[in-house]
Amino acid sequence: MASMASLSASYPKYTSNFPTRYTHLLYDLCLVPRNPPLMKKGSFSDLTIVRSSNQTESMIDSTDKLSDIPLLSCLEAIEKLKRNRENNKGNQQYLAMYSSIFGGIVTEEAAMVIPMDDHMVHRGHGVFDTAIIANRHLYELDQHVDRIVKSATMAKIILPFDPGPGDFQLSPSGCHQPALYAIVIEDKSLFDSKGIKVVTSSIPMKPPQFATMKSVNYLPNALSKMEAEEKGAYAAIWLDDDGFVAEGPSMNVAFITKEKEMLMPKFDKILNGCTAKRVFTLAEGLVREGKLRGIRVDNVSVDEGKSADEMMLIGSGVLVRPVIQWDEQVIGDGKEGPITQTLLNFILEDMKSGPSSVRVPVPY
């Protein structure tokens, strides 16, 4: 989701307070006129001059022209959106989007948009969740719906909608058109189960009140992921205020101890992972077979985590991904752990032939 800012301008105020080394940026953004005498007027309406895409150059006084940014019609904007989507194809293809604002489903990517004054966009007041569609079934739909309901309650959002569009104020009281959006994404990335490296995050994690809800406020998560990539790692691991292992930027963390016990941090300060809980359920089979001694949710120290035989990340985006190095510490023998691989196979099989409690048929 693109970041945005609400701007109000008084030009004398900007020139007196804005660092001079950045004024060229304001010129390029048309926030400050290049003609200094205009500064005395102090009127945004007097100073903002744009050229419509169908206007000729002669229609504008060159001495007053502040920008060559065109004023687009709605149709012209839509055409540019279409060309932009066509020229920016990645590993994800957006198949369809439902919008309560439209009151229907669209399949044209250029039409998959959210109003800029939606309280979710400019204030981060929204919640979301993600479920996998595999083999014509939605995986763990009920579990994800339960979680988004809990998140919405914590965020004071009345389901099934977020506050929706209305204005750019901090309070949602002016948002009188609640909104719900749903999108179907086909990820064409190749599935990878190779062992990865993680690092300890220096980005402060969210306090429990916000970490335990799945809101659209993912700036700390994004910065944590970026930090990991800058250090040549896949993800960064957060520690809580007491120094215990918490979670990754979008996944849970679990360990197999030297005593063959599966160990995961408590959920009281982190997001309640749907995939992680399902993995725990499936891992009970390994306990019955004697391959695991037990399963435990508890505080996990960094030393305990780094000295484990196996480490894994668990989430709907990675399923079960083996970790072979944390910071400078090699995990176990430095290879993908056998129990981690078994749990991944369990999840993959569960997505294909699991019980109806985790698989909801989707006709398409």
β-bridge mates for residue 326, sequence order: 198, 329
Task: Say how many CA atoms lie within 13 Å of 90 toward its Cβ.
Answer: 6
The set of catalytic residues is 214
Cis bond before residue 160 (omega within 30° of 0): yes
Q: What is the rounded CA–CA span in Å between residue 128 and residue 77?
A: 28
Structure-token match 């309640």, residue found: 272
CB 48 within 8 A of CB 69: no
- Six token digits for residue 31: 């926030």
SS (H, E, C) the chain: CCCCCCCCCCHHHHHHHCCHHHHHHHHHCCCCCCCHHHHHCCCHHHHCCCEECCCCHHHCCCCCCCCCCEECCHHHHHHHHHHHHHCCCCCEEEEEEEECCCCEEECCHHHCCCCCCEHHHHHCCCECCCCEEECCEEECHHHHHHHHHHHHHHCCCCCCCECCECCCCCCHHHCCCCECEEEEEEECCCCCCCCEEEEECCCCCCCHHHHCCCECCCHHHHHHHHHHHHCCCCEEECECCCCCECCCCCCEEEEECCCCEEEECCCCCCCCCHHHHHHHHHHHHHHHCCCCCEEEECCCCHHHHHCCCEEEEEECCCEEEEEEEECCEECCCCCCCHHHHHHHHHHHHHHHHCCCCCEEECCC
